[in-house]
Amino acid sequence: MLLFASDAAAAPAGGKKAIDPFEHVVDSDHIGIFDSTHTAIHLPGKLGEYVSVTKFPIFLLVAAIIVGAMVLWVANKIKSGEPPKGKLWNFIESLLFFVRDKIARPGIGLRDGDKYLPFLSTLFLFIFLCNLFGMIPFLPSPTAHIYVTGALAFIVFGVVHISGIKENGAGGYLKTFIPHIHIEGGAVMKAFGLGLQITMAILEYLTAFIRVFVLAVRLFANMLAGHTVSFMILFFIKLVADPDYKIAIAQDWMYWPVSIFSVLLATALSLLETFIAGLQAFVFTFLAAIFIGLAKHPAH
């Protein structure tokens, strides 16, 4: 669920305040509570030239602590040898089994999938929790920022290529990007085959970097789009009631119909976004598993 943007937007010449649909999803040194009362939790902001405390790093740290505590807690429970009991224990284990059976093993293979389960399960839980933060009133969604998804994709990039080098050796791994092309014929056809092989190899090397870029943009764009649409739906209320934003055709009687419609539509969209929060965590982690599998067991 999202709140209205801050009223701090600059007012244009007509006296109406500018609408910034992205203001509520950018990082800042304060957490807005109620826009109408200008209530906010102010963070320390810059602590020095290179250190700043803003809402995204704080909630990334909170997510990391929660995921770490969950994983360590259930690991100790499993070590005890006791059968799973209690809703929390069963819920966490079901998530871990889901990552193993639906992500790690299908993406990497039965032989190596379980080795990467700690990384993939941590990645899935961390992204899922960060996505869910944006569904809680007053809380930000760190994964709606390209820097956050870019950092996660960069970590995946490192794991993918380190895995490929460990499996095939540095030289052998670099060779896996070069396709094998066999063309019958004379010198002209052989030259054509060599040129085609070089071109495809360059594209394969570029793909290694393009994949990580797409991975970051996919998660960022989906989370940003959902929150922005929710904001605009709720902002309809201000367009018919708030003097700072009221449009020319707005009438007083429109307030309640528009408010009810906006809230119901935003609620329905929030339910859909809850599903998307889990889906995007699954897609990101599953693609990471596939990339690891391709690096360890290349097709050519």
38-64: pLDDT as tens digits: 555 566 666 655 666 777 788 899 999
Secondary element (H or E) of residue 264: helix 255-296
CA distances from 156 to 120, 146, 204 (A): 10, 15, 18
The more confidently predicted of residues 192 and 66 is: 66
The string of pLDDT tens digits covering residues 163-207 is: 999 988 888 888 888 888 777 777 888 788 888 888 888 998 999
Query: At CA 21, angle to CA 252 and CA 144, rounded to 5?
Result: 140
Token pair, residue 155, equals: 């970590």
Cut 0.85: pTM above it: no
Percentage of the chain lying above the pLDDT 90 cut: 28
Would you kindly state where each structural domain of the chain is located, as residue ranges? 23-296
Do 160 and 292 form a contact (C-beta atoms < 8 A)? yes
**E strand segments, the chain:** 30-34, 39-42, 45-46, 52-53
Give CA torsion, residues 68, 76, 115, 57, to 10 deg.
Answer: 0
SS3 state of residue 20:
coil
Percent of the chain with pLDDT over 70: 81
- Identify residue 77 by its one-letter amino acid code: K
